[in-house]
C-alpha cells in the first residue's frame, strides 16, 4: 500500500516537472495558436545558458536562473517579433515548419558549441536531500519543482486575469483584428507572450538541468511530454496543463514500477487513452 502511495506521490512530483515544461507552451498556444516545435530545444538552450553562468561566474544555479531570465525574455521577444510573427496566419504549415527548422538549428548549434557530452548543473547537495512526509520520503528538488510549477501557474493566471497586459492577451487571443482597433498592437503582445513563455522555460530549464543529465539532443522528448500535458489538460487552461502533467507523471511512474522499460511508453499510452475518451482534453476552455 505504501509503495502504491509512494508511486502516486512520485508521479505527482514528476508531473510538476512536466507541467513546468508545458506551461510556456500552453501560454503561447493559448494566446496565438502557435505550435512551437522548438519549445523542448529552447528549454535545453536555457539549461546550457544556466550551465555557462554557473561555471563561468561561479553563481548558484538559482541565482544563475534569475540572471538568465531577462536574457531569455529578450531572446523570446526577438524570436517572436522578427521570426515567428511572420509565420502566423490561417495556414498552420509555416509556423510548424519554421519552428521545426528552428528546433534542428538549436540542437545542432548546441552540439557544435557544447559537444554531445551529457551535462549536469550542480545544486550543491540539494539534489540528494529528502524530506520524510508521513510514510513516504520525498526529494527536496522534486518537491521544489512541483511548488515552482504551481507558483508559475498561479502567477500566470494572475497576470492573465488581473492585469491590463493579461486583458490584452485575452483580447488578442479572441480576436486580434478587433483588439488592434482598441489600440493593442498584436505583434508586440505576441512578442511579450513569447518572452514570458521563455522566462517560464528558464525555470523549467533550472530543474531539468539540476535533476538529471541533459545533452543537446533531449529537447524533442521534453517537447512531447509538454505537448501531451497541454493536450490532456485542454487548450487554454493552465490548471488543466498541471493536471495533464500529473497524469503523464503518474502513468510514467506506474509504468516504471512494473517494468523500467515501460516508463515512457506508459506515459504515451495514457495520453492516447485520454485522447480516445476526451479528444478535447480534460478541462477545455477555449473553443478551437
Partner 1 sequence: MTDTSLTPWKVETRTKASAISAIVAALLVLFAFAAPLFASRSVLQDLFFILTMLVLAQNWNLLAGYAGLVSVGQQAFVGFGAYAMFALVILAGLDPLAAIVLAGIASALLAVPTAFFLFRLQGAYFAIGSWVIAEVVRLALAQWKTLGGGTGTSLPREATRDMPALKFIGDLFGVKSSGAGDILTYWLTLLLAIATIFLVYRLLRSKQGLGLAAVRDNQEAARSVGVDARRMKTLVYLAAAFGTGLCGALIYVQKARISPDAAFSVVDWTAYVIFIVVIGGIGTIEGPIVGVIVFYLLQTLLADYGSWYLLILGLVGIATMLFAPRGLWGLFADRTGIQLFPVRRRLTGGPLSSTRKGGPHG
Round to whole Å and give the CA distance between 121 and 47.
8
- Which of residues 87 and 157 has its CB atom nearest to partner 1 in the complex? 87
- Please report how close the Cβ of residue 203 comes to partner 1 at its closest, in angstroms: 23
- Which of residues 9 and 251 has its CB atom nearest to partner 1 in the complex? 251
- Please report how close the Cβ of residue 112 comes to partner 1 at its closest, in angstroms: 5
Residue found by looking up cell 473553443 in the block = 287
- Cα distances from 1 to residues 7, 136, 167, 258, in angstroms, run 10, 11, 47, 15
Please give the residue ranges that form the binding site for partner 1 (CB under 8 A): 29, 33, 35, 37, 83, 86-87, 92-94, 96-98, 100-105, 107-109, 111-112, 220, 224, 227-228, 231, 261, 264-265, 268-269, 271-272, 275-276, 279
Q: Mention every residue, 6+ apart, whose C-beta is less than 8 A from residue 98.
A: 83, 84, 87
- Which of residues 156 and 231 has its CB atom nearest to partner 1 in the complex? 231
- Which of residues 53 and 106 has its CB atom nearest to partner 1 in the complex? 106
Residue found by looking up cell 493593442 in the block = 184
Q: Mention every residue, 6+ apart, whose C-beta is less than 8 A from residue 61.
A: 50, 54, 121, 122, 123, 206, 209, 210
- Please report how close the Cβ of residue 216 comes to partner 1 at its closest, in angstroms: 9
- Which of residues 133 and 221 has its CB atom nearest to partner 1 in the complex? 221
- Please report how close the Cβ of residue 209 comes to partner 1 at its closest, in angstroms: 21
Round to whole Å and give the CA distance between 84 and 82.
6
- Please report how close the Cβ of residue 201 comes to partner 1 at its closest, in angstroms: 18
Amino acid at each position: 500500500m505504501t509503495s502504491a502511495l509512494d508511486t502516486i506521490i512520485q508521479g505527482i512530483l514528476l508531473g510538476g516537472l512536466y507541467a513546468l515544461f508545458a506551461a510556456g507552451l500552453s501560454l503561447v498556444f493559448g494566446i496565438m495558436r502557435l505550435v512551437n516545435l522548438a519549445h523542448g530545444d529552447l528549454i535545453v538552450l536555457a539549461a546550457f545558458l544556466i550551465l555557462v553562468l554557473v561555471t563561468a561566474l561561479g553563481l548558484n544555479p538559482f541565482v544563475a536562473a534569475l540572471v538568465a531570465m531577462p536574457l531569455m525574455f529578450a531572446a523570446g521577444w526577438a524570436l517572436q517579433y522578427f521570426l515567428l510573427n511572420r509565420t502566423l496566419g490561417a495556414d498552420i504549415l509555416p509556423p510548424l515548419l519554421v519552428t521545426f527548422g528552428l528546433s534542428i538549428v538549436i540542437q545542432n548549434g548546441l552540439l557544435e558549441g557544447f559537444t554531445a557530452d551529457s551535462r549536469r548543473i550542480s545544486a550543491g547537495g540539494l539534489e540528494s536531500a529528502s524530506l520524510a512526509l508521513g510514510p513516504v520520503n520525498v526529494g527536496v528538488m522534486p518537491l521544489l519543482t512541483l511548488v515552482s510549477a504551481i507558483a508559475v501557474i498561479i502567477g500566470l493566471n494572475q497576470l492573465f486575469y488581473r492585469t491590463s497586459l493579461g486583458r490584452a492577451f485575452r483580447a488578442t487571443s479572441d480576436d486580434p483584428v478587433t483588439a488592434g482597433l482598441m489600440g493593442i498592437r498584436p505583434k508586440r503582445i505576441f512578442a511579450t507572450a513569447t518572452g514570458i513563455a521563455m522566462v517560464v522555460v528558464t525555470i523549467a530549464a533550472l530543474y531539468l538541468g539540476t535533476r538529471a543529465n541533459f545533452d543537446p539532443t533531449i529537447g524533442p522528448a521534453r517537447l512531447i511530454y509538454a505537448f501531451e500535458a497541454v493536450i490532456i489538460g485542454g487548450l487554454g487552461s493552465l490548471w488543466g496543463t498541471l493536471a495533464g502533467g500529473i497524469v503523464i507523471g503518474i502513468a510514467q511512474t506506474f509504468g516504471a514500477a512494473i517494468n523500467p522499460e515501460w516508463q515512457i511508453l506508459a506515459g504515451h499510452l495514457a495520453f492516447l487513452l485520454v485522447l480516445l475518451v476526451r479528444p478535447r482534453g480534460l478541462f477545455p476552455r477555449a473553443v478551437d
